[in-house]
Structure 1
Amino acid sequence: MRLSRRRALALGLAIPAVLRSGRADAAPVLKISHQFPGGTATEGDFRDRLCRRFAAMIGERSKGALGAEVYPGSSLMKTNAQFSAMRKGALDMSLIPLSYAGGDLPELNIGLMPGLVTSYDEGLAWKAKPIGQELTRLLAAKGIVIVTWIWQAGGVASRTRPLVDVADAKGLKVRGGSREMDLVLQAAGASVLSLPSNELYAAMQTGACDAALTSSTSLTSFRLEELAKHLTTGRARSYWFMLEPLVMSKASFDRLSAEERDIIVAAGAELEAFGRNAATEDDIRVAKVYEAAGARVYDLDDKVVQAWRTLARDTAWKDYANKNESCARLIKLAMEVGS
C-alpha cells in the first residue's frame, strides 16, 4: 500500500525527494530550511523573502515542473543540523552562514573572517575572482552548491555598555558568530560564547550574553532592540561581513535534469541584487529601530575599523592560515581582492 504525502507527514515519516508526491516521476519539490522568522514574499526578514521569491521563480520558469517549500524558523530541522543534512542529501536547500559549518570544515570560516571584507563590493566580487572559484570547488567537493551569493554587514547589540572600540570588549560576554571572530574578541579581553542567532534573545535576556555581533537583519528580526541599550551599526563602515548564501545539496542538484539545474542557477544569480539591496537597507533601518526603542546608536569610522582589522590580522588571520594548506590558499586569494 502506497502512502499519500499528507498521510506520511501525519505519521511523522520522512519522505525521500523522489517520492514527495507519491510517485517516482513526480515533479521535484525542494525543501528549503532556514533559521529566520517567516513572513511573505513581500514582508518580513529579507532572507525568508528571498527564499520565497526563489521558490516562486523556479516554479514559474519550469511551468510547475519544479517547486520548493520554505520552512522558516528552523521548523524543519535545527539550525546546526542543516549543513550536514545537505551534505548527506537529507535536506535540499538552506540559507545559512557558511561559518556555522566551520567546526567540521575550517575552511568555511573564511566566510566570517573579521576585517577581511570591508565592503559589499569587495565581498560580492569574490564570486568571479579566484577566491570564489576556489571556494565553489571546495564546497562542491563537500556536497554543497552555492545558489545565491549573499553578504551581510554586521553590528553589535549590547545590553550593558557599548562595544565600538577594541578596548570596549574587555570584560564583556560576547557572541562573535565564528571561531575567528571569537579569537579577536578574546584578544581584546572579552569572554565568548557560541550559539546561532536565533538563540541570542534568550541568552541576552538571561544575562548569559552581554553583547552580540550579528547581521543588521538579525539584529531586528530577533527583536534584540527589546533588550539592548546600545547598538553599533554597519551602515557607514564595518569590520564584520558575513557570507550567508542560499545553498543546495549537490546530491539534490545532481538529481535534477539539465534544464532544471539551469533554472536553479539562473534564478539564484538574479536574486543576488535583491539580497544586496535588502541587506544595505537593513543596515540603515536597524539604527532607526533601535533609536525608536530607546537605545544609543554608534557608527564606526576608518580608524576604529582599522584597529579591529589589525588585531584580526595578528590573531584570526594568522590562526586560520596555519590550519592547513587549503586555508592558507583561501585567505591569500581573499586578500588579493581587497588589495
Structure 2
Amino acid sequence: MKRTTQTLAATLLFSASAIGMASAQTAMRCSHQLPPAHHIAKVVDQWAAEVEKLSEGELDVQVFGADSLVKANDNILAVAKGDIECAFSLNFQWGKTLPLMNVTVGPYTMSSIEAWKKWPTSEAAAFLEQKLAEKGVKNVAWMFQTNTSVFTSKGKALITPADFQGLKMRGIGPAFDRGLTAMGATTVSMPGSEVYQALATGIVDAAITDVAAAYSRKYYEVQDHMTVVPVLAAYLHGYVNPGWYEGLSEKSKAALDQAGKSASQWALDASIQASADAPKQLEEKGVTVHIATDAENEAFRAAMQPAFAEGFAEETGEDGKTLLGLIEKIQ
C-alpha cells in the first residue's frame, strides 16, 4: 500500500517518540507460580507497583504469575542465566541447589510470628542472601507465606502418624519429605500448579500445603478432609539477575530495596489474615476441617523432626549449624 509523505512522516515521528519513551524504562520481567487469587500473588502485584512508583518510572515491572512465563522449577536458572530479570520462588524449591533455604520447613522449627517479624533484617536472612549470591542471584524481597499448613486427604482425616501409612503424597522437598516417609507415606515431587490435577486423578492421595493455598487452589473440590497443623513455615522470596541489577541507577536500586522492605510487612499481614480466614472458607466449601490438638502436634513432631534433622544436617553441614544458630537468636 502507498502512503502519503505526510502520513509516513507522522508515523515515523510517533514511532521515534514511542521508542524514546520505551528506552527511558528498564523492563523487569518477574515470574512466579502462584494463582491470581493467592494472597501472596496480590502482595507481589503490590510490590511491583511500589517499585515502579519509587523508581519514578525507571523500572517497568511486568509480573507473570501462575507459571505463565517460566515454569516454577525453571525460575532460578532462568534468572541466574539472565533469560529473565526477576522471579519469585518458594524456599523449598531450591531443593539440593541450596538446601539451606529449607531451614524453616523443619517440622515445628520456626512457626513463631514474632520471629518472622524480625526475619528480613536478621543475621539469618543476611546469611542466606550471601549464599544466594554465591548461586548467582541477588535477593530483593522476603515474603512470609505461612506458618499454618494443612494435611489434605479424602475419606478420612490425617490426625496421627499412623494415618499416613501407605499414602501417596505430594511432598515439598527432600529434607521435609523425610518426615512424611518416616510416617509411612510415599512422596511425589511436583509444582503446586500440578497438585490439583494429581489429586483429582489419583496420582497422589493427599498433599501438604499452606492452608490459604488449599482454598485459593480449590483443593476443596478434590479433597474433603483437612487437618490444620503448624508443621512448617514457608516463604516466597524475590530475586534478580546480579548483572542486570548492577546496570541499574541508584534510584532504581533504592526502589527495589525499599519496596522489598515494605513488601515483607505486607506479606506478613496478608498471611496472618489469610491463615485466619481459610479454615472457615474451606468449611463453607464442604471440607471437614480438623485443628490438630497439642497432643496430635507433639506426635507429628516426634515422628517427623528427627528424620528432617538428619537429612538437613547431611545436606547442609557446618553452614546448616551456623544458620540454625542464627535463627535461635530471633526465636
8 A Cα contact 1:225 1:289, kept in partner: no
Structure 1: distance between partners of 2:126 and 2:24: 34
Structure 1: distance between partners of 2:192 and 2:20: 36
8 A Cα contact 1:79 1:196, kept in partner: yes
8 A Cα contact 1:57 1:267, kept in partner: yes
- Post-superposition shift, 1:305? 2.6
Sort the Cα spacing of 1:87 and 1:56 in 2 relative to 1 into closer, same or farther, 3 A: same
Aligned to 1:170: 165
Aligned to 2:267: 275
Give a deviation string over 1:200-234, Cα, whole Å, max 9, x none: 11110111111111112321221101011101225
Give a deviation string over 1:279-309, Cα, whole Å, max 9, x none: 1222122212221221110112333333333
Structure 2: distance between partners of 1:232 and 1:22: 56
Structure 2: distance between partners of 1:124 and 1:199: 31
Aligned to 1:79: 72
Secondary structure, aligned partner of 1:58: helix
Structure 2: distance between partners of 1:171 and 1:335: 35
Structure 2: distance between partners of 1:332 and 1:170: 34
- Structure number with the bigger relative contact order (C-alpha 8 A, sep ≥ 6) is 2
Aligned to 1:263: 255
Q: Name which of structure 1's ranges 319-328 and 50-59 shifts more when overlaid on structure 2.
A: 319-328
- Residue 36, structure 1, aligned to residue 34, structure 2: yes
Give a deviation string over 1:73-114, Cα, whole Å, max 9, x none: 111111110011112222222221021121322222224222
2:283 is matched by which residue type in structure 1? E
Aligned to 1:9: none
Aligned to 1:10: none
Aligned to 2:284: 292
- Post-superposition shift, 1:166? 2.3
Sort the Cα spacing of 1:125 and 1:79 in 2 relative to 1 into closer, same or farther, 3 A: same
Residue identity over aligned pairs, in percent, reads 25
- Residue 219, structure 1, aligned to residue 217, structure 2: no
Give a deviation string over 1:171-200, Cα, whole Å, max 9, x none: 221112121221000001111111111111
Structure 2: distance between partners of 1:196 and 1:302: 30
Secondary structure, aligned partner of 1:73: coil
Sort the Cα spacing of 1:185 and 1:316 in 2 relative to 1 into closer, same or farther, 3 A: same
Describe how 1:1-339 pairs up with structure 2 within 5 A: 25-38=23-36, 44-151=37-144, 152-153=146-147, 154-234=149-229, 238-323=230-315, 324-338=317-331
Structure 1: distance between partners of 2:125 and 2:118: 8
Sort the Cα spacing of 1:165 and 1:158 in 2 relative to 1 into closer, same or farther, 3 A: same
- Post-superposition shift, 1:23? 9.4
Q: TM-score, normalised by structure 1?
A: 0.85
Q: Name which of structure 1's ranges 301-310 and 200-209 shifts more when overlaid on structure 2.
A: 301-310
Q: TM-score, normalised by structure 2?
A: 0.87
Structure 2: distance between partners of 1:24 and 1:53: 22
Whichever of the two has the greater Rg, that structure is 2
Q: Name which of structure 1's ranges 242-251 and 79-88 shifts more when overlaid on structure 2.
A: 242-251
Structure 2: distance between partners of 1:286 and 1:24: 42
Question: Could you list the runs of 5+ residues in structure 1 that have no partner in the other structure?
Answer: 1-20, 39-43
Structure 1: distance between partners of 2:155 and 2:246: 49
Question: Could you list the runs of 5+ residues in structure 2 that have no partner in the other structure?
Answer: 1-18
Secondary structure, aligned partner of 1:55: helix
Structure 1: distance between partners of 2:279 and 2:210: 12
2:155 is matched by which residue type in structure 1? T
CA RMSD in angstroms comes to: 2.2
Sort the Cα spacing of 1:33 and 1:326 in 2 relative to 1 into closer, same or farther, 3 A: same
8 A Cα contact 1:99 1:111, kept in partner: no
The structure with the greater share of residues assigned to helix is 2
Secondary structure, aligned partner of 1:149: strand
Secondary structure, aligned partner of 2:67: coil
